[in-house]
């Protein structure tokens, strides 16, 4: 009995891992480049630089999926604080209107502006190449490619960096 329960748990875990791999393969992270040479006052370590690139790209993938599917739960893990609240409100407004937004992400160029001496936050400037489509069902009502500029604040969590602030700037 105990052996069959253990086997069943292993099988369920294997199936969940396979589903997660298929999901992540279906929604690749956008291209993200980071220039951290002039960040200060603390220099950015190689491992931190790689983690920022990985986690910022994943955050944008999660954001695009959340807005495209009108699912605020997809923001969890990648967004916290003001950024998460802001996008939850946007999703709620979309749900009321019956519309959704699809972002086609062409890539991000990040520049690290500030890295806290204690390593507890990093401020970045993002130049993003995007296309926004507003949809009613599967019908595209509006489509516009654009370049956007953002100020980003990221903070570390136990196993990743999270977006705390994503503010568009002129």
Work out the angle at residue 165's Cα, subtended by the Cα atoms of residues 64 and 128, and round it to the nearest 5 degrees.
Answer: 50
- Cβ(125)–Cβ(111) below 8 Å: yes
Instruction: Examine the domain organization and report whether 36 and 118 are in the same domain.
Output: yes
The full length of the chain comes to 170
> How many Cα atoms occupy the beta-carbon half-sphere of 81 within 13 Å?
13
Residue 122: name the closest of 80, 170, 156 by CA: 156
Count how many domains the chain has.
2
Instruction: Examine the domain organization and report whether 115 and 61 are in the same domain.
Output: yes
Instruction: Examine the domain organization and report whether 94 and 126 are in the same domain.
Output: yes
Instruction: Examine the domain organization and report whether 1 and 61 are in the same domain.
Output: no
Instruction: Examine the domain organization and report whether 5 and 75 are in the same domain.
Output: no
d(CA 13, CA 106): 34
List the domain range (segments joined by +) for residue 135. 31-169
Distances (CA, A) of 118 to 35, 155, 156: 20, 11, 11
Tens digits of pLDDT across the chain (170 residues) = 444 433 333 333 333 333 333 333 345 678 999 999 999 999 999 999 999 999 999 999 999 999 999 999 999 999 999 999 999 999 999 999 999 999 999 999 999 999 999 999 999 999 999 999 999 988 999 999 999 999 999 999 999 999 999 999 99
Instruction: Examine the domain organization and report whether 20 and 90 are in the same domain.
Output: no
Alpha helix positions (H), the chain? 2-26, 46-69, 81-97
What pLDDT, on a 0 to 100 scale, did the predictor assign at position 29? 78
Instruction: Examine the domain organization and report whether 146 and 75 are in the same domain.
Output: yes
Instruction: Examine the domain organization and report whether 2 and 48 are in the same domain.
Output: no
What pLDDT, on a 0 to 100 scale, did the predictor assign at position 6? 39
What pLDDT, on a 0 to 100 scale, did the predictor assign at position 5? 36
What pLDDT, on a 0 to 100 scale, did the predictor assign at position 112? 97
Instruction: Examine the domain organization and report whether 35 and 3 are in the same domain.
Output: no
- Supply the CATH number for residue 56's domain: 3.10.450.240
What pLDDT, on a 0 to 100 scale, did the predictor assign at position 15? 32
d(CA 36, CA 105): 22
d(CA 53, CA 100): 27
Instruction: Examine the domain organization and report whether 4 and 79 are in the same domain.
Output: no
Instruction: Examine the domain organization and report whether 16 and 46 are in the same domain.
Output: no
Q: Cis peptide leading into 137, omega within 30 of 0?
A: no
Instruction: Examine the domain organization and report whether 73 and 13 are in the same domain.
Output: no
């Amino acid at each position: 009995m105990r052996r069959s329960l253990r086997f069943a748990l292993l099988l369920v875990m294997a199936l969940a891992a396979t589903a997660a791999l298929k999901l992540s393969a279906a929604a690749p992270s956008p291209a993200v480049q980071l220039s951290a040479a002039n960040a200060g006052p603390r220099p950015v370590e190689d491992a931190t630089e790689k983690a920022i690139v990985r986690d910022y790209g994943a955050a944008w993938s999660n954001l695009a999926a959340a807005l495209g599917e009108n699912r605020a739960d997809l923001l969890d893990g990648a967004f916290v604080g003001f950024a998460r609240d802001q996008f939850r409100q946007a999703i709620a407004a979309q749900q009321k209107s019956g519309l959704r937004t699809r972002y086609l992400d062409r890539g991000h160029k990040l520049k690290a502006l500030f890295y806290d001496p204690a390593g507890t936050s990093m401020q970045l400037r993002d130049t993003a190449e995007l296309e926004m489509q507003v949809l009613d069902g599967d019908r595209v009502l509006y489509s516009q490619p654009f370049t956007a500029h953002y100020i980003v604040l990221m903070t570390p969590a136990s196993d990743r960096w999270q977006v705390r602030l994503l503010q568009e700037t002129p």
